[in-house]
Amino acid sequence: MQTIDPTTGKRIKIYPEFSLSKIDGILNRAEKSFQSWRALSFKERALIMKKASDILRKGKDRYARLMAQEMGKPFVQGQGEIEKCAFVCDFYAEHAEYFLTPEPVRTEASKSFVTYEPLGIVLAVMPWNFPFWQVFRCAAPTLMAGNAVVLKHASNVCGCALAIEKIFKEAGFPPALFSNVFISSAEVKDVIEHTLIKAVSLTGSTGAGRSIASHAGGVLKKAVLELGGSDPYIILEDADLESAVETCVNSRLINGGQSCISAKRFIVVASVFKEFEERFIAKMQMQRMGPPLDEGVNLGPMARHDLRDQLQGQVRRSTKQGAKLLLGGAIPLGPGAFYPPTVLSNVRPGMAAYQEELFGPVAALIKVTDQQEAIHTANDTVFGLGAAVFTRNIKKGELIATQELQAGCCFVNDSVKSDPRLPFGGIKQSGYGRELAESGIREFVNVKTIYIK
């Protein structure tokens, strides 16, 4: 395995893959630590989790710089990601006991209740786009529930994986309770099938989700899948366009557009389409692209050259199919995996920009006649992770978000985001299961019924 700086194209470091015998040793040590960890009280676990939060905040600049080097995240965005990781650690340190407190149930028994017991070792297969947040989003609740975690991180962020492992070690978690395994995607199946692995959490592509779900299902192990998305943002005729454009552009370009829940399809009613389009292009033109460690840069390179080239292919196919290229769409000269803010208009069903997930700084503008067509177009996708609607009529927006939009996370007049206090996940080909909040910590526990006559 090797990490490549996407800003320069130069190799940072090579990491040897782990042998299956080495992985077996890691899992056996993790199992031993799990048995002692599960016996601790929530208060004892919380003290250690709080230390992890402190380490994150103290090392915020160092970790942000590491993300910039390995996958091109602008430095300020990396700092924000670390703060969010610290928040999720604090959140579960404070609330895990409440979420997992045994619940009495009145029956004919003298006593009956539901308790929540840890499962064991959970395999976390995580992506490169939020290399700290995706891991902590899974690890904080899973560890606080009393489980162990083994991480298979994306191969281009091995340095981040090691840094995370070190954080948990320095915080005082038992040896190997949180461990990395450096393996290829092809070897994940063997780890899933290991008898000590009890469940799997994946954040990744829909294709990876199918593979993980198949392998986990084959050995009857639970999986939580957070997969791709092509989030629609509906702009109704009564929307505050200035605010909507600001939110839409920020959502489209966060993390270089490389986010499952960033806005990707902008569905605008005809009466305000032209004004929205003009404002949107003007705002996109204002973004500063450059090396992620430079001050003022809000759009760094894409994480890898092959991903940049794949995105360019989607743009070219879309224009050949009739989409209008209004901004960007050309790979800049020079080193690095840079791709400029790009706007496609006249996007219609059947086009790549309509049907596929555009994982990069490319926006697809879609004109519709009215609210009914906007809702139909928003739901006309195989994905169902997030969606948003913009309108000054809050009651109407709430009704559309609650009853009409087909997605796991629906927002009104704001961009879709993950929050430790709210369940996070999707439907359709965006996956199943939930992370975060009470729902997330209950995914990897044995919901056990106790009945006493």
* Active-site residue list: 226, 260
Q: Which residues of 307-335 are buried (b: 16+ CB within 10 A; e: fewer)?
A: bbeebbebbeebbeeebebbbbbebeeee
Question: How many CA atoms lie within 13 Å of 14's alpha carbon, on the beta-carbon side?
Answer: 1
Which 3-state string (H, E, C) describes 351-419? CHHHHCCCCCCEEEEEEECCHHHHHHHHHCCCCCCEEEEECCCHHHHHHHHHHHCCCCEEEECCCCCCC
CA atoms of 62 and 25, how far apart (whole Å): 31
User: CA nearest 317: which of 286, 353, 290, 281?
Assistant: 353
Amino acid letter, residue 79: Q
